[in-house]
Amino acid sequence: MTETQSDVAVVTGANSGIGRAIALHLAAQGLSVYGTVRDIGRATKLQAMAAEAGVGVSLVELDVADSASVEAGLARVLDEAGRVDVLVNNAGVGGNGVVEEVTIERYAEVMNVNLHGALRCLKVVLPGMRERRHGTIVNITSVAGRFGAVAQAPYVASKWAFEGVSEELAQELAGFGIRVAIIEPGVTKSAIFAKNVEDTTPAGPAYEPHLRRMFQFYAAGHAHATDAFEVAKLVHHAITTDAPVLRYPVSWAGPEILARRPRMSDEDWVALGTIDDDDTYYRAFSDAFGIDITTAALGEA
């Protein structure tokens, strides 16, 4: 599918990180882009970057966690543009903590944004796409949606669910000429690093090593994180390629983990959890997945 100058794209969570890069890059490629943000008054960096790049991104206040907000925001887009050709479900939140210790309320909060938020947007744009038999849905999931990333229980639960819904959706929409693409980032340069601690449910003594090892993974990733515009370029490719695939792993650790986890037995995966010494764990993880999360990796950026 090749887009035209007038194709309309909506990118949720466009105020920072991957969403901002996608909105700016798609606008630079000639799409008419609407970027959703929770507060236009806080989108000054996005506006400045758009001005510097000489592109236009129309801002729409929209909170994917609230059905009325989604309906009102997307109604404005449909009123102004007449249709949505591309929906990029990018808005999301982190959620760290071990399965036992995270509250049910926290699971629900993360799921409400990362899964239900996308579903709210889909329900608004899909009737028009089906009627026109044209459109693309791009769902930004995560490498953590394909393997049980330790001490990220709410995030894993939400992204794994989003992967399943996306796979189902791809088959359901194929007969209507609507493409679904799943983008699976690993560690990407984003403000999410600064929020990682506040998005964490503190662990008791029994589980403290699990959080420590999770933070070690992200510390290594932070040192080598992929630029968000690399993800944005992949999104544009997924929209426009004549040879689409369903899943697109990208960014530091993403392709490596997703390639190697299926070749690793479940028993070997579980056995990683029996390793008592941190350094031994880091070496075993690095050997298993081909990415260096040892202490030495933190200073090699």
* Residue 277, pLDDT above cutoff 60: yes
Full residue range of the structural domain in which residue 152 is found: 8-203+226-264
* Residue 230, pLDDT above cutoff 60: yes
Q: Tens digit of pLDDT for each residue in 143-170? A: 999 999 999 999 999 999 999 999 999 9
Please indicate, yes or no, if residue 219 is contained in any of the structural domains: no
Judge whether 207 and 153 are in contact, CB under 8 Å: no
Instruction: Give residue 297's pLDDT.
Output: 79
Please indicate, yes or no, if residue 283 is contained in any of the structural domains: no
**Catalytic residue list contains 155:** yes
Judge whether 188 and 252 are in contact, CB under 8 Å: yes
Please indicate, yes or no, if residue 292 is contained in any of the structural domains: no
* Residue 251, pLDDT above cutoff 90: yes
Q: Tens digit of pLDDT for each residue in 7-57? A: 999 999 999 999 999 999 999 999 999 999 999 999 999 999 999 999 999
Instruction: Give residue 42's pLDDT.
Output: 96
Average model confidence (pLDDT) for the chain?
Answer: 95
Instruction: Give residue 196's pLDDT.
Output: 65
Please indicate, yes or no, if residue 68 is contained in any of the structural domains: yes
Instruction: Give residue 194's pLDDT.
Output: 58
pTM here is 0.95
Instruction: Give residue 2's pLDDT.
Output: 45
Q: Which of 155, 207, 218, 248 is catalytic?
A: 155
Q: How large a percentage of the chain has pLDDT more than 70?
A: 95
User: Tokens at residue 20, please?
Assistant: 């901002």
* Residue 1, pLDDT above cutoff 80: no
* Residue 118, pLDDT above cutoff 60: yes
| Widest CA span in the chain | 59
Please indicate, yes or no, if residue 43 is contained in any of the structural domains: yes
Judge whether 6 and 32 are in contact, CB under 8 Å: yes
User: Tokens at residue 230, please?
Assistant: 């690399």
Please indicate, yes or no, if residue 33 is contained in any of the structural domains: yes
Instruction: Give residue 85's pLDDT.
Output: 98
Structure-model confidence comparison of residues 278 and 193, the more confident one: 278
Band (197; pLDDT cuts 50, 70, 90): low
Q: What is the distance between the alpha carbons of residues 90 and 114, in angstroms, rounded to a whole number?
A: 9
Please indicate, yes or no, if residue 284 is contained in any of the structural domains: no
Q: Tens digit of pLDDT for each residue in 67-87? A: 999 999 999 999 999 999 999
Judge whether 126 and 118 are in contact, CB under 8 Å: no
Please indicate, yes or no, if residue 213 is contained in any of the structural domains: no
CATH (domain of 40): 3.40.50.720
Number of domains composing the chain: 1
β-sheet with 32-37: strand ranges across: 57-61, 32-37, 8-11, 86-89, 135-140, 178-185, 247-250
Structure-model confidence comparison of residues 6 and 248, the more confident one: 248
Neighbours of 294 (CB within 10 A): 16
* Residue 301, pLDDT above cutoff 50: no
Band (4; pLDDT cuts 50, 70, 90): very low
Q: By three-state DSSP, how is residue 118 classified? A: helix
Q: What is the distance between the alpha carbons of residues 114 and 108, in angstroms, rounded to a whole number?
A: 10
* Residue 271, pLDDT above cutoff 70: yes
Number of helices followed by number of strands (H, E) in the chain: 12, 7
Instruction: Give residue 188's pLDDT.
Output: 96
Instruction: Give residue 3's pLDDT.
Output: 43
